[in-house]
Amino acid sequence: MTNIKPSLYDFTLKELSQKVKPSFRAKQIYGWLYHQYAQNFEEMKNIPKNLKEELSQTYVINPMKIIRKEESSDGTIKYLFELQDGKTVEAVWLKMKDDIYEDGKLIQEAKYTICVSTQVGCKVGCTFCLTAKGGFTRDLTAGEIIAQVVNLKRDNNHKHNRKINIVYMGMGEPLDNLDNLAKAIEIFKEEEGLAISGKRQTVSTSGLSNKIDALGKMDLGVHIAISLHAVDDELRTELIPMNKAHNINSIIEAVKRFPIDTRKRVMFEYLVIKDKNDDLESAKKLVKLLSGIKAKVNLIYFNPYPGTPYKRPSYEDMHNFQEYLIKHGLLSTIRDSKGIDISAACGQLKEKTEKEL
Rounded distance between C-alpha atoms, residue 165 and residue 327, angstroms: 30
Q: What are phi and psi of 114, to 5 degrees?
A: -110, 125
CATH topology of domain 65-356: TIM Barrel (3.20.20)
Q: 10-14, 93-97, 319-323 — which is least confidently predicted? A: 93-97
Identify the pLDDT of residue 338. Answer: 64
On the CB side of 344, CA atoms within 13 Å amount to 19
Residue 344 has pLDDT above 60, yes or no: no
Please tell me the CATH code under which domain 1-61 is placed: 1.10.150.530
Query: What whole-number distance in Å separates Cα of residue 59 and Cα of residue 259?
Result: 37
Catalytic-role residue among 70, 144, 346, 351: 346
Whether residue 115 lies in the annotated active site: no
d(CA 7, CA 62) in angstroms, rounded, equals 7
The verdict on whether residue 332 carries a ligand-binding annotation is no
**90: annotated active-site residue:** yes
Measure the CA–CA gap between 22 and 16, rounded to whole angstroms: 11
Beta strands in 72-161 (DSSP E): 77-83, 88-97, 100-102, 105-108, 111-116, 119-121, 136-139
pTM of the complete model? 0.91
To the nearest 10°, the Cα dihedral for 125, 130, 171, 94?
-140
- Give tens-digit pLDDT for 322-340: 999 999 999 999 987 666 6
The string of pLDDT tens digits covering residues 62-92 is 999 999 999 998 889 999 999 999 999 999 9
* pLDDT at residue 354 tops 80: no
- Domain 1-61 matches domain 65-356 at the CATH topology level: no
**CB crowding 319-342: b at 16 or more within 10 Å, else e:** eebbebbeeeebebebeebbbeeb
Q: Which of helix, strand or coil describes residue 95?
A: strand
Rounded-to-integer distance, Cα 308 and Cα 209, Å? 28
165 annotated to a ligand binding site: no
> 115 among the known binding-site residues?
no
Residue 303 is assigned to a ligand binding site: yes
pLDDT: which is higher, 164 or 1: 164
Q: For residues 266 and 259, what is the distance between their CA atoms, to the nearest angstrom?
A: 10
Checking if the pLDDT of 346 tops 70, the result is no
| Among 70, 90, 144, 351, the one annotated catalytic | 90
Contacts 24+ apart (CB under 8 A), 207-211: 207/240, 207/242, 207/243, 207/246, 207/248, 207/250, 207/251, 208/173, 208/175, 208/176, 208/242, 208/246, 209/246, 209/250, 209/251, 209/253, 209/254, 210/246, 210/254, 211/175, 211/176, 211/178
User: Does 126 carry a binding-site annotation?
Assistant: yes
Given a cut of 50, is residue 34 above it in pLDDT?
A: yes
Tell me the pairing of strands 201-205 and 119-121.
Answer: unpaired
108, with CB counted inside 10 A (0-12, 13-18, 19+), is exposed
Tell me what the pLDDT averaged over the chain comes to: 92
Kind of pairing between the strands at 105-108 and 136-139: unpaired
> What is the domain partition of the chain in residue ranges?
1-61, 65-356
Q: Which residues are bridge partners to 60 per DSSP?
A: 7
Rounded to whole angstroms, how far apart are CA atoms 139 and 180? 8
